[in-house]
Amino acid sequence: MRTQVAIIGAGPAGLLLSHLLALEGIESVVLERKSRQAIEETIKAGVLEQWVVDLLQDTGVGDRLMREATFHDGIELRFGRRRHHIDMAGLTGGKKVTIYAQHEVLKDLIAARLAQGGTILFNVRDVRLDNLQGPSPSIAFRLEDGREEILQSDFIAGCDGYHGPSRSYIPNRKEYLRHYPFGWLGILVEAPRAADELVYTNHERGFALLSTRTTDIQRYYLQVDPHDDLEAWPDDRIWDELERRVETEDGFFLPRGRIFQKNIVSVRSFVCETMQYGRLFIAGDAAHTVPPTGAKGLNLAAADVVHLARGLARYYLRGDDQWLDHYTDSCLRRVWRAEHFSWFMTSMLHQLPEHTDIDRKFQQAQLEYVVASEPAAQSLAENYVGLPVDW
Ligand code: APR
Ligand code: PHB
């Protein structure tokens, strides 16, 4: 097999890259370890920055999103049993908070690629990369039926997430990593909406987040012990804990409902420098991960592949490889900004085991400042709705 750009991973990074390349007339093949069904059903986060919404719309994959997504003008910060509205749209010249589950974005991208004759091979195994410094790098892999196959290409895009193998092919990389001493327990619930916007809560028992999917399905999260498994969290315990953390002095009511999905994810900050080696470029979670508190994961993956698609387009259409040479630099400035913002939100809202009274006072002072000072709120809003892709 041969293609121009071989892409490993059919997550947001890999699929959006394949889509953007096709619009430039550049051919790609996507190799994915999981089945299409698994990709389309795995529950992940769901907040899109304004420019990502605009990009999906402008490139023809935003119709369902515009019909089905939830658009909010702001978020709520809740602490000391009080609610505080941050007016994102008002503070950023009209940019909104869009909630549309990641797997719905993936369904739309997969449908678009297949409708346009694109190739996505699901259920592949054992990808091995070779010849990354030469003009024709290749990927050996095993097809679903067990047959060995080799995909030759001009470039390889490693879009295979935090646990994928691509990153390990970059020698002399420097990895920056922080594990946080807590996880996020996420649930999907059949229940009416509890609030008009996302509620981020700082509580002495731990962080809680109320998000949404549709008018009838809600997505809630609790800060939990990172070593907890789901058995430790029967439904009643989840509801009791959520209720205690999000209660307000004005009597906030959290409607309960059937919990039909639960998972626990670990929380980390991670960046790999550099993001390229010869003809290999890594993008998205393969190169960096953020704690989910800033809602940046999918958006950072999208920004990387916009830069990568531009660099590849310059190469194929103009024979200019300078943009590709500077791929890492054009991504990392934004990546570190988002890493810092995600760490900032995480630090402001979670309880750490080592926290003492003074740490809680610091958090409270920061929260009071963010909700009372317009410049402070504006800084949070600017980061939350997303800096421009070329930032
Ligand atoms: N071979 C083929 N595919 C692989 C391999 C492999 N060896 N290893 C991983 N993959 C696939 C995974 O199955 C997954 O579908 O790569 C894909 C990576 O997707 P994501 O982990 O979603 O990463 P990315 O596309 O960078 O998107 C980042 O996704 O998980 C969220 O929080 C994350 O929002 C962020 C966004
Ligand atoms: C979600 O809806 O899944 C979600 C929302 C906000 C976050 C993280 C996840 O910060």
CA distances from residue 53 to 134, 140, 284, 355 in whole angstroms, order as listed:
37, 35, 17, 38
Beta strands at 5-8 and 155-158: parallel, antiparallel or unpaired: parallel
Q: Check if 389 has its Cβ closer than 6 Å to any atom of ligand 2.
A: no
Amino acid identity of residue 160, one-letter, is D
Ligand 2 mean position to 291 CA, how many Å? Answer: 10
The percentage of residues in the chain with a pLDDT greater than 90, rounded to a whole number, is 99
Cβ of residue 31 lying under 6 Å from some atom of ligand 1: yes
The strand pair at 5-8 and 28-31 is best described as parallel
Residue type, 41: E
Q: What pLDDT, on the 0 to 100 scale, is given for residue 215?
A: 94
- Topology (CATH) of 179-267+352-385: D-Amino Acid Oxidase; Chain A, domain 2 (3.30.9)
Check if 200 is active-site.
yes
Per-residue model confidence (pLDDT) at position 306: 98
C-alpha 86/C-alpha 75 separation (Å) is 5
- Note if 95 is an active site residue: no
Tokens of 352: 């750490």
- CB proximity list for 15: less than 8 A, separation 6 or greater: 30, 106, 109, 110, 113, 120
State yes or no: is 174 an active-site residue: no
Q: Which whole number is the average pLDDT over 248-260?
A: 97
pLDDT digits (tens, 9 = 90+) for 118-146: 999 999 999 999 999 999 999 999 999 99
Mean pLDDT throughout 293-319?
97
Find the catalytic residue in 12, 19, 72, 327: 72
Return residue ranges of the chain for CATH 3.50.50.60: 5-46+101-174+273-348
E-only strand ranges, the chain: 5-8, 28-31, 47-48, 70-72, 75-79, 82-86, 97-99, 119-121, 125-130, 138-142, 148-152, 155-158, 174-190, 198-202, 208-212, 217-224, 258-273, 276-277, 280-282, 288-289
**Where in the sequence of the chain do the CATH 3.30.9.10 domains occur?**
179-267+352-385
Residue nearest to atom 3 of ligand 2 (CA): 45
Read off the pLDDT band of 391 (50, 70, 90). Answer: confident
93 is written with which tokens? 């010249």
The pTM assigned to this predicted structure is: 0.97
Instruction: Give exposure, 36-71, as e/b (b: 16+ Cβ within 10 Å).
Output: beebeeebbbbbbbbbbbebbeeeebbeebeeebbe
Residue 82 phi, psi dihedral angles, 5° rounding:
-120, 155
User: What is the number of the ligand closest to the CA of 142?
Assistant: 1
Domain 5-46+101-174+273-348: which topology? FAD/NAD(P)-binding domain (3.50.50)
Is 295 close to ligand 2, i.e. is its CB under 6 Å away? Answer: yes
Pairing assessment for the beta strands 47-48 and 70-72 based on DSSP bridges:
unpaired
Distance 126 CA to ligand 2 centre (A): 32
The structure tokens listed for 95 are: 């940019």
Whether the per-residue pLDDT at 229 is higher than 90: the answer is yes
C-alpha distances in angstroms, 25 versus 28, 56, 118, 311, 386? 10, 18, 11, 14, 29
> For ligand 1, what atom is nearest to the CA of residue 12?
25
* Average pLDDT taken over every residue of the chain: 97
Residue-wise DSSP of 245-257:
HH--TT-------
Q: Tens of pLDDT along 338-378?
A: 999 999 999 999 999 999 999 999 999 999 999 999 999 99
70: Cβ below 6 Å to ligand 2? no
Identify which of 28, 243, 216, 43 has the alpha carbon closest to the alpha carbon of residue 117. 28
Quick one: which ligand is closest to 292's CA? 2
Does the pLDDT of residue 27 top 90, yes or no?
yes
Tens digits of per-residue pLDDT, 73-125? 999 999 999 999 999 999 999 999 999 999 999 999 999 999 999 999 999 99
